Chain A
Amino acid sequence: MPKNQLNPDQWVQLYADALYNYTLPRVNDTAVAEDLVQETFISAWKARDSFKGEAAEKSWLFSICKNKIIDHYRKKARDIMQPMSATGVTDNFFDEAEHWTKQDQPGEWGIDLSNTVENKEFYSVLTMCRKKLQEMQEAAFSMKYLEDMDAAEICKVLGITSSNYWVLIHRAKLQLRTCLEKNWLHIK
Chain B
Amino acid sequence: MRFFMISCKKATYLVSKKEENRISWWESWQLRAHLGICSLCRKFEQQSGFIGRMAKQVTMHETLSPEKKEKIQAALTHEH
Contacts and interface: CB of A to CB of B under 8 A. Distances in A.
Interface of A: 8, 11-13, 16-17, 20-21, 24-25, 34, 37-38, 41-42, 45-46, 93-94, 97-100, 105-109, 113-114, 116-117, 122-123, 126, 141, 144-146, 148, 150-151, 166-167, 169-170, 173-174, 176-177, 180-181
Interface in B1-37: 7-10, 12-13, 15-17, 20, 22
B54 A166 contact: no
A22 to B, nearest CB: 8
For the complex of A and B, 6 pairs with smallest distance between CB atoms? A98-B7, A106-B43, A98-B9, A145-B55, A21-B60, A113-B50
Contacts of A21: 59-62
Given A24-B60, A176-B51, A16 B8 contact: no
Interface of B: 7-10, 12-13, 15-17, 20, 22, 40-41, 43-44, 46-64, 68-69, 71-73, 75-76, 79-80
B53 A116 contact: yes
A144 B29 CA distance: 25
Contacts of B72: 12, 16, 34, 37-38, 41
A126 B76 CA distance: 33
Contacts of B49: 113
